[in-house]
Amino acid sequence: MRNRHWICMTFAAALVLGMGLRSAQAVDMFSEEKGFIEDAAHAGNYEMEAAHYALEYSTDPRVKDYAQMMVDEHKQLAQALQQIAARLEIDMPEGPSLMQKAKLTLLKSKEGRDFDADYAQKLGVAAHEETIKRFQDYIERGKDREVLGFANDALPILQQHFQHATVLYRSMQSPSP
């Protein structure tokens, strides 16, 4: 009887420990994907919200063209990311991060050329620089094939956005005629 009790206890302990290890490993593997998806969603939401504001308040047609491209292309990226997040049962954030919301508030306080230059530099150049770095980091360390595929497909698009923003911002640095 004592041996049977000991065997049951050992089996139960092994089962609990085994499940705990398996769960911990799954969380570790999953956390990189979850973090990347959330960061990518925040970045896309940030870009789209700022772009909608630029479409409404900018007076520069070049800024409006860039903003429209941001809305169109980030919307497509968001749809692809949403499908992956659903498969992995990850809840995507509904908007920008808290820090990004603060940056949007500062952007919205600008007007005219100051707004346009700030939008091009902070949302076009700086934000894409950060996002590109995050995507490159995930491509190096990520494990999920579908998420890696998304990151690899999206990276050239983000790099193109960065290049467009750089040209746009530089063109604003020259004095207007």
**pLDDT tens per residue, range 118-142:** 999 999 999 999 999 999 999 999 9
Q: How many domains does the chain have?
A: 1
169 lies in some domain = yes
CA dihedral sign, ordered 46, 64, 120, 33: positive
Tokens 């630029």, residue located: 54
Q: Annotate 59-111 with DSSP letters as a single string.
A: --HHHHHHHHHHHHHHHHHHHHHHHHHHHTT-PPPSS--HHHHHHHHHHHT--
14 lies in some domain = no
18 lies in some domain = no
141 lies in some domain = yes
Q: How many CB atoms lie within 10 A of CB 161?
A: 23
11 lies in some domain = no
C-alpha 39/C-alpha 58 separation (Å) is 27
pLDDT at 140: 96
Q: Tens digit of pLDDT for each residue in 137-176?
A: 999 999 999 999 999 999 999 999 999 999 999 998 866 5
90 lies in some domain = yes
Phi, psi at 73, each rounded to 5°? -80, -35
C-alpha 13/C-alpha 130 separation (Å) is 46
Q: 111: domain CATH number?
A: 1.20.1260.10
Residue span of the structural domain in which 94 resides: 30-173
